[in-house]
Amino acid sequence: MSRLLVLFSVWLFTLGCGAETPAPAALPPAADPVSAPAGTRRFLALGDSYTIGQGVPAADRWGVQLAWLAQAEGLQKPDIIARTGWTTEQLREAIVAANPPASYELVSLMIGVNNQFQGLPLAEYRTDFRELLQTAIRLAGGRPGRVVVLSIPDWGQSRMGRSYSQAAISQEIDQFNDAARQECAAAGVAFLDITDLTRATSYDPAQFASDGLHYSGLHMQQWATRALLLVRRLVQ
Protein backbone atom coordinates (compact mmCIF):
# COMPACT_ATOMS: atom_id res chain seq x y z
CA MET A 1 0.00 0.00 0.00
CA SER A 2 1.39 3.40 -0.95
CA ARG A 3 2.11 5.99 1.72
CA LEU A 4 -0.62 8.22 0.27
CA LEU A 5 -3.21 5.46 0.56
CA VAL A 6 -2.15 4.70 4.14
CA LEU A 7 -2.51 8.36 5.11
CA PHE A 8 -5.91 8.54 3.42
CA SER A 9 -7.05 5.41 5.27
CA VAL A 10 -6.01 6.82 8.65
CA TRP A 11 -7.82 10.09 7.82
CA LEU A 12 -10.96 8.16 6.90
CA PHE A 13 -10.85 6.11 10.10
CA THR A 14 -10.44 9.27 12.18
CA LEU A 15 -13.52 10.77 10.56
CA GLY A 16 -15.47 7.69 11.51
CA CYS A 17 -14.24 7.79 15.09
CA GLY A 18 -14.92 11.47 15.60
CA ALA A 19 -12.81 13.86 17.64
CA GLU A 20 -10.80 12.53 20.56
CA THR A 21 -13.24 13.61 23.20
CA PRO A 22 -12.08 12.88 26.75
CA ALA A 23 -14.46 11.13 29.08
CA PRO A 24 -16.29 13.49 31.45
CA ALA A 25 -15.17 13.74 35.04
CA ALA A 26 -18.50 12.48 36.30
CA LEU A 27 -21.31 10.47 34.75
CA PRO A 28 -25.03 11.19 35.15
CA PRO A 29 -26.74 8.84 37.62
CA ALA A 30 -28.44 5.76 36.27
CA ALA A 31 -32.12 5.23 36.96
CA ASP A 32 -31.92 3.02 40.07
CA PRO A 33 -34.85 0.93 41.27
CA VAL A 34 -36.19 2.16 44.60
CA SER A 35 -35.18 -1.06 46.35
CA ALA A 36 -31.61 -1.11 45.04
CA PRO A 37 -28.83 -0.79 47.62
CA ALA A 38 -26.42 2.11 47.42
CA GLY A 39 -23.31 1.32 45.41
CA THR A 40 -20.42 0.34 47.62
CA ARG A 41 -18.05 -1.25 45.10
CA ARG A 42 -15.96 1.13 43.03
CA PHE A 43 -15.50 0.35 39.34
CA LEU A 44 -12.76 1.67 37.04
CA ALA A 45 -13.04 1.24 33.25
CA LEU A 46 -9.86 1.59 31.17
CA GLY A 47 -9.76 1.72 27.38
CA ASP A 48 -10.50 3.67 24.24
CA SER A 49 -13.59 4.70 22.25
CA TYR A 50 -15.38 1.45 23.03
CA THR A 51 -15.11 2.18 26.75
CA ILE A 52 -16.31 5.76 26.26
CA GLY A 53 -19.14 4.61 24.02
CA GLN A 54 -18.25 6.99 21.19
CA GLY A 55 -21.37 8.48 19.65
CA VAL A 56 -23.89 7.38 22.29
CA PRO A 57 -25.25 8.94 25.50
CA ALA A 58 -23.25 8.28 28.67
CA ALA A 59 -26.02 6.06 30.03
CA ASP A 60 -25.57 3.72 27.04
CA ARG A 61 -21.90 2.98 27.68
CA TRP A 62 -21.40 -0.71 28.30
CA GLY A 63 -19.79 -0.09 31.71
CA VAL A 64 -22.63 2.14 32.86
CA GLN A 65 -25.15 -0.47 31.72
CA LEU A 66 -23.17 -3.12 33.61
CA ALA A 67 -23.25 -1.05 36.79
CA TRP A 68 -27.02 -0.67 36.45
CA LEU A 69 -27.43 -4.43 35.97
CA ALA A 70 -25.13 -5.17 38.92
CA GLN A 71 -26.85 -2.91 41.44
CA ALA A 72 -27.62 -5.89 43.66
CA GLU A 73 -23.86 -6.45 43.90
CA GLY A 74 -23.39 -2.82 44.91
CA LEU A 75 -21.40 -1.89 41.79
CA GLN A 76 -21.01 1.83 41.28
CA LYS A 77 -21.06 3.63 37.94
CA PRO A 78 -17.53 3.45 36.53
CA ASP A 79 -14.81 6.00 36.74
CA ILE A 80 -13.39 6.12 33.23
CA ILE A 81 -9.89 6.59 31.85
CA ALA A 82 -10.34 6.29 28.09
CA ARG A 83 -10.31 8.33 24.92
CA THR A 84 -11.13 7.74 21.28
CA GLY A 85 -8.06 6.77 19.29
CA TRP A 86 -5.89 5.68 22.21
CA THR A 87 -3.35 2.92 21.74
CA THR A 88 -1.93 0.86 24.60
CA GLU A 89 0.93 3.33 24.99
CA GLN A 90 -1.39 6.33 25.23
CA LEU A 91 -3.62 4.59 27.77
CA ARG A 92 -0.59 3.70 29.86
CA GLU A 93 0.58 7.33 29.87
CA ALA A 94 -2.92 8.57 30.75
CA ILE A 95 -3.17 6.25 33.75
CA VAL A 96 0.16 7.53 35.04
CA ALA A 97 -1.04 11.12 34.64
CA ALA A 98 -4.40 10.44 36.32
CA ASN A 99 -2.77 8.52 39.21
CA PRO A 100 -5.99 6.78 40.34
CA PRO A 101 -6.11 5.13 43.77
CA ALA A 102 -5.40 1.42 44.06
CA SER A 103 -8.70 0.77 45.79
CA TYR A 104 -11.18 -0.38 43.13
CA GLU A 105 -13.36 -3.43 43.62
CA LEU A 106 -13.54 -3.99 39.87
CA VAL A 107 -11.29 -2.85 37.00
CA SER A 108 -12.07 -3.47 33.34
CA LEU A 109 -9.62 -3.19 30.44
CA MET A 110 -10.50 -3.04 26.75
CA ILE A 111 -7.70 -1.83 24.51
CA GLY A 112 -5.89 -2.66 21.28
CA VAL A 113 -8.09 -1.82 18.31
CA ASN A 114 -6.05 1.29 17.50
CA ASN A 115 -2.83 -0.69 17.71
CA GLN A 116 -4.31 -3.08 15.16
CA PHE A 117 -5.66 -0.36 12.88
CA GLN A 118 -2.43 1.61 12.88
CA GLY A 119 -0.46 -1.49 11.97
CA LEU A 120 1.61 -1.45 15.17
CA PRO A 121 3.52 -4.66 15.90
CA LEU A 122 1.72 -7.44 17.71
CA ALA A 123 4.80 -8.00 19.88
CA GLU A 124 4.64 -4.36 20.99
CA TYR A 125 0.95 -4.75 21.84
CA ARG A 126 1.67 -7.83 23.92
CA THR A 127 4.38 -6.05 25.92
CA ASP A 128 2.23 -2.97 26.52
CA PHE A 129 -0.82 -5.07 27.34
CA ARG A 130 1.12 -7.10 29.88
CA GLU A 131 2.13 -3.88 31.63
CA LEU A 132 -1.43 -2.52 31.51
CA LEU A 133 -2.68 -5.77 32.97
CA GLN A 134 -0.32 -5.45 35.92
CA THR A 135 -1.44 -1.84 36.36
CA ALA A 136 -5.10 -2.92 36.37
CA ILE A 137 -4.32 -5.56 39.00
CA ARG A 138 -2.59 -2.96 41.15
CA LEU A 139 -5.57 -0.60 40.85
CA ALA A 140 -7.80 -3.48 41.94
CA GLY A 141 -5.89 -3.66 45.20
CA GLY A 142 -3.46 -6.27 43.92
CA ARG A 143 -6.29 -8.74 43.22
CA PRO A 144 -6.19 -10.34 39.73
CA GLY A 145 -9.62 -11.80 40.46
CA ARG A 146 -11.14 -8.31 40.42
CA VAL A 147 -9.96 -7.50 36.88
CA VAL A 148 -11.84 -8.32 33.68
CA VAL A 149 -10.55 -7.84 30.13
CA LEU A 150 -12.95 -7.49 27.22
CA SER A 151 -11.82 -8.66 23.80
CA ILE A 152 -11.34 -6.28 20.86
CA PRO A 153 -14.46 -5.91 18.69
CA ASP A 154 -14.22 -6.78 14.99
CA TRP A 155 -14.81 -3.36 13.42
CA GLY A 156 -14.52 -4.97 9.98
CA GLN A 157 -18.15 -6.00 10.41
CA SER A 158 -19.25 -2.37 10.65
CA ARG A 159 -20.51 -0.21 7.79
CA MET A 160 -17.18 1.56 7.67
CA GLY A 161 -15.34 -1.74 7.72
CA ARG A 162 -16.70 -2.56 4.27
CA SER A 163 -14.08 -0.18 2.86
CA TYR A 164 -11.31 -2.50 4.07
CA SER A 165 -10.38 -6.15 3.75
CA GLN A 166 -12.71 -7.76 6.25
CA ALA A 167 -10.82 -11.05 6.21
CA ALA A 168 -7.54 -9.31 7.02
CA ILE A 169 -9.13 -7.27 9.82
CA SER A 170 -10.68 -10.38 11.37
CA GLN A 171 -7.40 -12.26 11.20
CA GLU A 172 -5.48 -9.45 12.89
CA ILE A 173 -8.17 -8.94 15.53
CA ASP A 174 -7.96 -12.65 16.34
CA GLN A 175 -4.19 -12.41 16.71
CA PHE A 176 -4.41 -9.46 19.08
CA ASN A 177 -7.16 -11.13 21.10
CA ASP A 178 -5.18 -14.35 21.32
CA ALA A 179 -2.23 -12.43 22.73
CA ALA A 180 -4.46 -10.72 25.30
CA ARG A 181 -6.12 -14.01 26.26
CA GLN A 182 -2.73 -15.65 26.83
CA GLU A 183 -1.49 -12.76 28.98
CA CYS A 184 -4.72 -12.85 31.03
CA ALA A 185 -4.34 -16.58 31.63
CA ALA A 186 -0.75 -16.08 32.79
CA ALA A 187 -1.80 -13.29 35.17
CA GLY A 188 -4.91 -15.04 36.52
CA VAL A 189 -7.25 -12.41 35.04
CA ALA A 190 -10.68 -13.11 33.52
CA PHE A 191 -10.92 -12.66 29.73
CA LEU A 192 -14.40 -11.98 28.35
CA ASP A 193 -14.85 -12.59 24.62
CA ILE A 194 -17.41 -10.24 23.06
CA THR A 195 -15.90 -10.32 19.55
CA ASP A 196 -18.43 -12.90 18.40
CA LEU A 197 -21.23 -10.49 19.27
CA THR A 198 -19.69 -7.80 17.06
CA ARG A 199 -19.39 -10.30 14.22
CA ALA A 200 -23.10 -11.05 14.43
CA THR A 201 -24.27 -7.47 13.82
CA SER A 202 -24.91 -8.16 10.10
CA TYR A 203 -24.52 -4.44 9.36
CA ASP A 204 -27.80 -3.78 11.19
CA PRO A 205 -27.94 0.02 11.68
CA ALA A 206 -29.58 -0.46 15.09
CA GLN A 207 -26.38 -2.12 16.31
CA PHE A 208 -24.23 0.91 15.53
CA ALA A 209 -23.86 4.54 16.51
CA SER A 210 -24.56 7.17 13.88
CA ASP A 211 -20.97 7.08 12.60
CA GLY A 212 -21.47 3.51 11.38
CA LEU A 213 -18.30 2.39 13.17
CA HIS A 214 -18.87 2.44 16.91
CA TYR A 215 -21.62 0.52 18.65
CA SER A 216 -25.06 1.55 19.83
CA GLY A 217 -26.32 1.27 23.38
CA LEU A 218 -28.56 -1.55 22.17
CA HIS A 219 -25.56 -3.54 21.04
CA MET A 220 -23.39 -2.73 24.06
CA GLN A 221 -26.20 -4.00 26.26
CA GLN A 222 -25.15 -7.44 25.03
CA TRP A 223 -21.61 -6.83 26.30
CA ALA A 224 -22.93 -5.70 29.67
CA THR A 225 -25.27 -8.68 29.97
CA ARG A 226 -22.49 -11.13 29.14
CA ALA A 227 -20.16 -9.39 31.58
CA LEU A 228 -22.75 -9.47 34.37
CA LEU A 229 -22.54 -13.22 35.02
CA LEU A 230 -18.76 -13.03 35.20
CA VAL A 231 -18.69 -9.90 37.36
CA ARG A 232 -21.13 -11.42 39.85
CA ARG A 233 -18.62 -14.21 40.45
CA LEU A 234 -15.66 -11.84 40.64
CA VAL A 235 -17.10 -9.52 43.28
CA GLN A 236 -18.99 -12.01 45.46
Q: 13 pLDDT band (50/70/90 cuts)?
A: very low
Task: Report the predicted TM-score, pTM, of the whole model to 2 decimal places.
Answer: 0.83
Q: 22 pLDDT band (50/70/90 cuts)?
A: very low
Residue 79 lies in a domain: yes
Residue 98 lies in a domain: yes
The residue-averaged pLDDT of 214-236 equals 94
Whether the predicted pLDDT of 47 surpasses 60 = yes
Mean pLDDT of the chain: 86
Residue 14 lies in a domain: no
Residue 134 lies in a domain: yes
pLDDT reported for residue 9 = 41
- Give the range among 47-61, 88-102, 157-171, 200-214 with minimum mean pLDDT: 157-171
> Exposed, middle or buried by CB within 10 Å (0-12, 13-18, 19+), for 170?
middle
pLDDT reported for residue 38 = 54
The residue-averaged pLDDT of 197-218 equals 93
Residue 25 lies in a domain: no
Residue 29 lies in a domain: no
pLDDT reported for residue 81 = 98
Residue 121 lies in a domain: yes
The residue-averaged pLDDT of 82-100 equals 97
pLDDT reported for residue 21 = 39
In this predicted model, what pLDDT tens digit does every residue of 121-133 receive, in sequence order? 999 999 999 999 9
Domain ranges, residue 162: 39-235
The residue-averaged pLDDT of 98-116 equals 97
Residue 23 lies in a domain: no
C-alpha span between 217 and 234 (Å, rounded) = 24
Residue 155's domain is classified under what CATH number?
Answer: 3.40.50.1110
pLDDT reported for residue 159 = 83
Q: 146 pLDDT band (50/70/90 cuts)?
A: very high
The residue-averaged pLDDT of 98-106 equals 96
Whether the predicted pLDDT of 32 surpasses 70 = no
> Exposed, middle or buried by CB within 10 Å (0-12, 13-18, 19+), for 11?
exposed
Q: Could you tell me what percent of the chain has a pLDDT over 70? A: 83
Number of structural domains (the chain) is: 1
